[in-house]
Amino acid sequence: MPAKSSTIVTALTVVALAVVGVLGYQAAASAPDHLSARGGGHHAEQHPAHHSKPPKEPAPPRPTEVPAASGTGKRVVYSLGAKQVWLVGADGRAQRTYHVTPSTVSPATGAYQVPPNGRSVSVTGSDGIAIEHVVRFTSAQGVVIGFSAAVDGAAPKPGPATKKTGGIRETRDDGKAMWDFAMVGTKVVVVA
């Protein structure tokens, strides 16, 4: 009887290995191509014939087109509707674009310039928040309007509807970019 039981064990082992092989092949064939060695276990290392494509790095976001009605040359473009700013070089291309949090008082559409007294490294904003890299360009309804970043990095919180504020808030990184770009005399174009 020992010869018969070793034959049965051998047969069961062969069947078990065949089943494991078939299941492994099915798993490899049905695995998505985007699994990495970390996310998908050691699948790619065990099956060198099955080459998974590495995940593609996302392409950097392309700046949206500079609004056509914003003029030419070096300028800051601020879109009231899109709540977006473009820092446009002399060649007419956006060097940087980003979203902002608008002030409660909006400037009128049109072209302005950063005045001689339009820049401050740090001050207290009209909402009482410490701000930096302030670039002012106009006033409306008795409120000075300009771009700035909160020193603590926080976005402005909605206040009472009667509180007039003129700070168009940027992130600290965007505020620094604006500060470096918008020197005295730089054109600021506000579009709808």
- Report all structural domains of the chain as residue ranges with CATH numbers, in order of start: 2-46 (no CATH), 68-191 (2.40.440.10)
Q: Which residues of 68-100 are buried (b: 16+ CB within 10 A; e: fewer)?
A: eebeeebbbbbbeebebbbbbeeeeebebbbeb
For residues 93 and 23, the model is more confident at 93
Residue pair 99/155 in contact by the 8 Å Cβ criterion: no
Q: How confident is the model at residue 64 (pLDDT cuts 50, 70, 90)?
A: confident
Rounded to whole angstroms, how far apart are CA atoms 34 and 54?
6
Tens digits of residue pLDDT in 131-176 = 999 999 999 999 999 999 999 988 776 655 568 899 999 999 999 9
Q: How confident is the model at residue 38 (pLDDT cuts 50, 70, 90)?
A: very low
Q: What is the pLDDT of residue 127?
A: 80
Rounded to whole angstroms, how far apart are CA atoms 92 and 142?
33
Rounded to whole angstroms, how far apart are CA atoms 152 and 175?
13
Residues in the chain: 192
Q: What is the pLDDT of residue 41?
A: 42
Tens digits of residue pLDDT in 122-133 = 999 888 899 999
The label of the residue with tokens 């400037």 reads 107
Residue 74 in this model has a pLDDT that exceeds 90: yes
